[in-house]
Amino acid sequence: MIQINLVKKLFIAIVLIAYLPLNAGAWGMTGHRIVGQIADYYLTAKARKAVYEVLGNQSPAMASNWPDFIKSDSTYNYLSSWHYVNLPADLDQHGVFNFLDTDKQANVYNKIPELIAQLKDKKQTAGQQKMAMRLLIHFLGDIHQPLHTGRKDDLGGNKISVTWFGQKSNLHRVWDEGLVDYQQLSYTEYAAAINHPTKEQLAQWQHTPLKDCVYESYLAANKIYAATKVDDKLSYRYNFEFVDLMNEQLLKGGIRLAQILNTIYG
């Protein structure tokens, strides 16, 4: 009898563990893959060949999560500040540009041009190029997640606790994964579903300087901050209000990533 009870308890424990929600990092797994998948649509044949070669025949979508995976290895701790840029509140465009020009910290805005230069440098080893490529793909995603251009005092919304459909969360996490996962689409379905820029949007987004990409993300972050207070209960209404903004940021991220890669390998 005792043994049967133990088996029963073990079985219940295993079932419970299997249903615990998984915890992921920035933009979540799906958000980064959507950006990678959209970029794949817009690569020239020449650039696609080069990108897949550098990645060892991996797609940009699947390569996009590696910079989050390596957070589990302390060897890579030096990369942790590369995922975001913290900006003070209430800056106008000039203030944001000025901040970006003078901020000497290793941040996502400073590192993207360095990674582009590394990929153009033929003296880099295959291993160095692969790492730079995976980081570049990931950071083009991060720079379009508005709360990766958020404020320092609340750690980009990480310190703003909220609930998301009744579950304890924080504002940063809602934007990394809650809102994306709520749409219940795979990354390929998602990328296909939002890949409908107008001609004007496409032309504009393909030629946005990096500084303006940060400024757009900063403006989006300001809207998000203004709409949310600590301990807000976010659910249906929040999705209704912000899903279009989020989809546009994901689409822009993918289109701009492709443009950068097409320029490197064009």
Chain residues in the site for Zn ion (CB under 5 A): 26, 83, 142
Q: Which is nearer to Zn ion, 47 or 213 (CB)?
A: 213
CA distance 264 to 258: 10
CA distance 162 to 232: 5
Q: Is the dihedral angle over the CA atoms 110, 115, 117, 123 positive or is it negative?
A: positive
Q: Which is nearer to Zn ion, 83 or 256 (CB)?
A: 83
Shortest Å distance, C-beta 193 to Zn ion: 23
216: Cβ contacts below 8 Å, ≥ 6 apart? 208, 252
Shortest Å distance, C-beta 211 to Zn ion: 20
Shortest Å distance, C-beta 71 to Zn ion: 9
Shortest Å distance, C-beta 4 to Zn ion: 48
Q: Which is nearer to Zn ion, 40 or 142 (CB)?
A: 142
Q: Which is nearer to Zn ion, 5 or 74 (CB)?
A: 74
CA distance 107 to 101: 12
Q: Which is nearer to Zn ion, 28 or 197 (CB)?
A: 28
Tell me which H or E stretch contains 240: helix 236-265
From 2, 89, 62, 43, select the one nearest 188 (Cα to Cα). Answer: 62
Closest CB to Zn ion belongs to which residue?
Answer: 26
Q: Which is nearer to Zn ion, 29 or 194 (CB)?
A: 29
The answer to whether the beta carbons of residues 89 and 154 sit under 8 Å apart is no
Shortest Å distance, C-beta 124 to Zn ion: 22
Q: Which is nearer to Zn ion, 48 or 134 (CB)?
A: 134
Shortest Å distance, C-beta 67 to Zn ion: 6
The answer to whether the beta carbons of residues 219 and 245 sit under 8 Å apart is no
CA distance 222 to 218: 6
* Residue 154 per-residue DSSP state: T
- CA 99 vs. chain centroid, Å, equals 22
Q: Considering only CA atoms, give the Rg of the chain.
A: 20
SS3 153: coil
CA distance 237 to 207: 34
Shortest Å distance, C-beta 140 to Zn ion: 10
